DNA sequence: GAACCTCGTGGAATCGATTACATCCACCCT
DNA sequence: AGGGTGGATGTAATCGATTCCACGAGGTTC
């Protein structure tokens, strides 16, 4: 592969001049410039990014360590991160931790060894020494979605509290009183927060969240299945299962189906994280949607600000409730159809397009928060 | 950040000795080794991968350019690729082309500039000059899923022909006679092949695949929606729509739902690519499943073979039909329940666990090829 | 006409590793 | 004792870029 020396020889100039042409340095004669460009063309020369990075101590690369690529939420996040990074002149290397702290460490180390300019992390756990050292050691870093308390790193995330309260109001309005949750790992902020807020919201309605109705999941489908089986085997099973992410909701569906039960007639289901398929499941699933694309973009901007010497900003964006039919017919629909056997009742609302990049129109009757609190 | 010189100074030896310790070179005294290791420890030294790559001309990195990360098929492929690569001592940088040739070129160029050791590509189009030059220029390369005809590069892919014939047999057995397909881009091998094989299989049953029943999609959901709307507006709409990938099937579902029609009563639906959610859609969707994990692993092995001087092998693995309910009740089920209104008929077969990493048991009655041809 | 810029250019140092080669020393054999 | 062997180590070249510095030519200013 041709190097800068070959170009210099081909153009009859020094390597310094070639470098100046390539980097748009002003003091190069028009003559030299055209000769260099010609040589570049004929040799098919491309600058070696490795050598360049060694010299300049910048890689123009961001690392993104996410908890689970197979989770559509993180896939979408990764996509928006790459998009925004590309727009700002950076590329992205993704590390998939699969919810495993050891794998997370592997990727953090690998990325650090490659001297990435900055790190975007959605931590799987409370933070390994490696990551904490990196943060303290001055590696530009931003947490996205999840974070580690007590570390001085900007956080870009969604605030699901209001949406969870809306969900509980919705469920309560439908007459449900025994609500259970499939929680995420306690080592993650999102895992903790969702349970805590759910419990508080129940209490506001005079309801209880007993320990047997808190199932410990790990954000993976299998755990959702296992926990739901447990719920269904209880002497008094819950009327509603709220899964703290979409994969555990999938597992819950598996378990419910394996028992031959129906949603929402036999048991209601809701999930944190909205995905496109939830529109087409049987029945369509009520979920809490995060502004995933916006989160990814904001995280990249914060990180690049930090890298380029501007003060980075933490960002919190609201999540919102998307009501569908998995918890029962919404109260606002006149229950003309008997609430009984068939799950295939024609929805009286116009069909909702499956969730897409563009934010759905706020006035869509199928997409709305049934309760608005004072300080909304 | 500490460099090898700092370690050398700290241990009171030369950089050469440090390097030898780090690379496990035999001729280093035990004394020197322990002093170096101690210095490494106290300084928290990590070798600079950029400098190392410049010197050794290897990055131990594979590039993976896929057509669309948001497509669960490619997400799963990417995951298995990373896993196998990690096991073999390589890392992976993913480039998402979003089915856009220009983006594909951007990523190929970027990866080449980074001097990755080898490239795994699922081409979006017939091949840009850039990619063809790279292949001819000796960059180790392997095509996965899709390929470019006439280029001397190993191909790792699934063979869907038998499964498509099985699907047509299944559809024909259910009495369907007007079958339509949402095709992928003609510039992709998978896009072409699936239409061609579908058409041939129809002809084997004396059926025709008229042009109006071939909708041109681009493997994205929107095109599936658009094409399906077209089908439904035809004076004589098809009885079955076969989507050449899962995202276009999603779009088809959107379009069918927007018309207030039901699957399979009003129109049947099948898809290429099986995903976990297809078990839980309304109704569960009949699909052709690829051995995605095995494909990713085989592709990495072929590429690493090529990189490390062993002869790489092309690999073709069979896809298989997974019959569910989106085309009508399978013939083997006695149609005791009236085929009429309710879509929530209890399946007489035991519930199928959603598709997972482990291959489903072959004897599961819900997962099977209804027709076996001679040379099976 | 001397002093002084400015501009274009090349030489050479540098980034952080790896590694060929030279050197030194201890030991062994005849 | 002398020479050979081999292990441990250091010196320095090298990878492919960027960039500081020096230099020469040409133009401007007093």
* B258–A351 CB contact, under 8 Å: yes
For chains A and B, what is the number of CB pairs under 8 angstroms? Answer: 137
Indicate whether B331 pLDDT > 80.
no
List residues with CB under 7 Å of strand C.
A 12-17, 20, 26-29, 31-32, 51, 54-55, 57; B 1, 3-5, 15-16, 19-20, 22-23, 47-48, 51-52, 54-56
Indicate whether B373 pLDDT > 60.
no
Indicate whether B243 pLDDT > 70.
yes
Q: Is A59 on the interface with B (CB under 8 A)?
A: yes
- DSSP letter string over A199-233? HHHHHHTT----GGGEEE--SSHHHHHHHHHHHHH
DSSP B58: -
Instruction: Determine the Cα–Cα distance for residues B213 and A222; give it in Å rounded to an integer.
Output: 40
pLDDT recorded at residue A370: 36
Which of A94, A106, A356 is nearest residue B94 as measured by Cβ atoms?
Answer: A94
* B353–A94 CB contact, under 8 Å: no
Closest CA to A69 of B71, B247, B107: B71
- Contact map slice: B 243-302 vs A, CB within 8 A: 250, 253-254, 257-258, 260, 262, 276-277, 279-283
Q: Which residue is nearest to nucleotide C18 (CA to C1')?
A: B55
DSSP A67: S
* A283–B280 CB contact, under 8 Å: no
Q: Which residue is nearest to nucleotide C13 (CA to C1')?
A: A55
Q: Nearest 5 degrees, angle CA A90-CA A67-CA B43? A: 70
Which string of b and e fits A34-66 if b means at least 16 CB within 10 Å? ebbeebbeebebebbbbbbbbeeeebbbbbbbb
pLDDT recorded at residue A10: 95
Which chain D positions come under 7 Å from a protein C-beta? 7-12, 14-20
Phi-psi domain of B308 (left: phi exceeds 0; alpha: psi -120 through 50; beta: other): alpha
pLDDT recorded at residue B32: 94
Q: Which nucleotide is nearest to B31 (CA to C1')?
A: D8
User: Could you tell me the sign of the dihedral formed by the alpha carbons of B40, B45, B49, B51, in that order?
Assistant: negative
How close does chain B come to A152, measured CA to CA in Å? 20
How close does chain A come to B294, measured CA to CA in Å? 16
A257-284 per-position pLDDT tens digit: 999 999 899 999 999 999 999 998 988 9
pLDDT recorded at residue A282: 85
Which of B110, B283, B346 is nearest residue A91 as measured by Cβ atoms?
Answer: B110
SS3 category, A132: helix
- CA to C1' distance (Å), from B31 to C26: 17
Question: Is the separation of the CB atoms in B178 and B157 below 8 Å?
Answer: no
User: Can you list the domains of chain B with their CATH numbers?
Assistant: 57-158+293-316 (3.40.50.2300), 161-289 (3.40.50.2300)
Backbone phi, psi, residue B314, to 5°: -70, 145
Instruction: Determine the Cα–Cα distance for residues B245 and B288; give it in Å rounded to an integer.
Output: 9
Indicate whether B31 pLDDT > 70.
yes
Instruction: Determine the Cα–Cα distance for residues B262 and A62; give it in Å rounded to an integer.
Output: 46
pLDDT recorded at residue B352: 60
Indicate whether B251 pLDDT > 90.
yes
User: Could you tell me the sign of the dihedral formed by the alpha carbons of A259, A263, A267, A268, in that order?
Assistant: positive
Which runs of consecutive H residues, i.e. helices, occur in B65-185? Answer: 72-87, 101-113, 129-136, 161-173
A82-112 per-position pLDDT tens digit: 999 999 999 999 999 999 999 999 999 999 9
* B343–A346 CB contact, under 8 Å: no
Q: Nearest 5 degrees, angle CA A53-CA A59-CA A65? A: 145
Which chain B residues are closer than 8 Å to A281 by Cβ? 277, 280-282
B118-130 per-position pLDDT tens digit: 999 999 988 889 9
A299-329 per-position pLDDT tens digit: 999 999 999 999 999 999 999 999 999 998 7
pLDDT tier for residue A359 given thresholds of 50, 70 and 90 = very low
pLDDT recorded at residue B1: 85
The rounded percent of chain A whose pLDDT value lies above 70 is: 88
pLDDT recorded at residue B301: 98
* A351–B109 CB contact, under 8 Å: no
B135-174 per-position pLDDT tens digit: 999 999 999 999 999 999 999 999 999 999 999 999 999 9
Instruction: Determine the Cα–Cα distance for residues B123 and A10; give it in Å rounded to an integer.
Output: 34
* B354–A75 CB contact, under 8 Å: no
Residue with tokens 């700002």: A88
B277, B278, B296, B356: which to substitute to probe chain A, counting the most A Cβ within 10 Å? B277
- CA to C1' distance (Å), from B316 to D8: 52
Backbone phi, psi, residue A223, to 5°: -65, -35
- Contact map slice: A 26-55 vs B, CB within 8 A: 44, 46-51, 53-54
β-pair type (B286-289, B320-322):
antiparallel
- Which two three-digit tokens encode residue A205? 């309605």
* A54–B54 CB contact, under 8 Å: yes
- CA to C1' distance (Å), from B28 to C29: 26
How many of the other CB atoms lie within 10 Å of CB of A17? 21
- CA to C1' distance (Å), from A352 to C28: 90
pLDDT tier for residue A38 given thresholds of 50, 70 and 90 = very high
**Residue A138, exposed/middle/buried by CB under 10 A (0-12, 13-18, 19+)?**
exposed
pLDDT recorded at residue A311: 96
């Amino acid at each position: 592969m041709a190097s800068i020396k070959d170009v210099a020889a081909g153009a009859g100039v020094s390597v310094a001049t070639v470098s100046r042409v390539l980097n748009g340095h002003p003091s190069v004669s028009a003559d030299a410039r055209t000769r260099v460009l010609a040589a570049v063309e004929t040799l098919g020369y491309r600058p070696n990014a490795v050598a360049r990075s060694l010299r300049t101590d910048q890689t123009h690369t961001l690392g993104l360590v996410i908890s689970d690529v197979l989770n559509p939420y993180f896939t979408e996040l990764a996509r928006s991160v790459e998009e925004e990074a590309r727009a700002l002149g950076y590329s992205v290397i993704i590390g998939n931790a699969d919810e495993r702290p050891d794998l997370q460490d592997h990727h953090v180390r690998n990325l650090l060894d490659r001297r990435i300019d900055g790190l975007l992390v959605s931590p799987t756990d409370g933070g390994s020494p490696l990551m904490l050292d990196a943060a303290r050691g001055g590696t530009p870093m931003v947490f996205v979605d999840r974070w580690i308390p007590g570390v001085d790193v900007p956080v870009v995330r969604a605030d699901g509290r209001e949406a969870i309260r809306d969900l509980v109001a919705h469920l309560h309005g439908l007459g449900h009183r025994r609500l259970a949750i499939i929680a995420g790992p306690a080592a993650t902020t999102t895992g903790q927060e969702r349970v805590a807020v759910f419990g508080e919201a129940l209490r506001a309605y005079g309801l209880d969240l007993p320990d047997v109705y808190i199932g410990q999941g790990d954000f993976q489908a299998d755990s959702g299945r296992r926990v739901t089986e447990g719920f269904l085997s209880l002497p008094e099973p819950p009327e509603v299962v709220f899964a703290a992410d979409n994969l555990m909701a999938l597992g819950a569906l598996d378990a419910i189906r394996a028992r031959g039960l129906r949603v929402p007639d036999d048991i209601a289901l809701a999930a944190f994280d909205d995905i496109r398929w939830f529109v087409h499941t049987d029945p369509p699933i009520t979920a809490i949607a995060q502004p995933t694309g916006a989160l990814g973009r904001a995280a990249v901007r914060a990180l690049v600000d930090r890298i380029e010497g501007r003060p980075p900003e933490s960002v919190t964006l609201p999540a919102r409730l998307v009501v569908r039919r998995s918890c029962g017919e919404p109260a606002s629909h006149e229950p003309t159809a008997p609430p009984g056997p068939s799950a295939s009742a024609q929805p009286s609302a116009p069909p909702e397009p499956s969730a897409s990049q563009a934010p759905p129109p706020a006035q869509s009757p199928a997409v709305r928060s049934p309760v608005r609190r004072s300080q909304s």
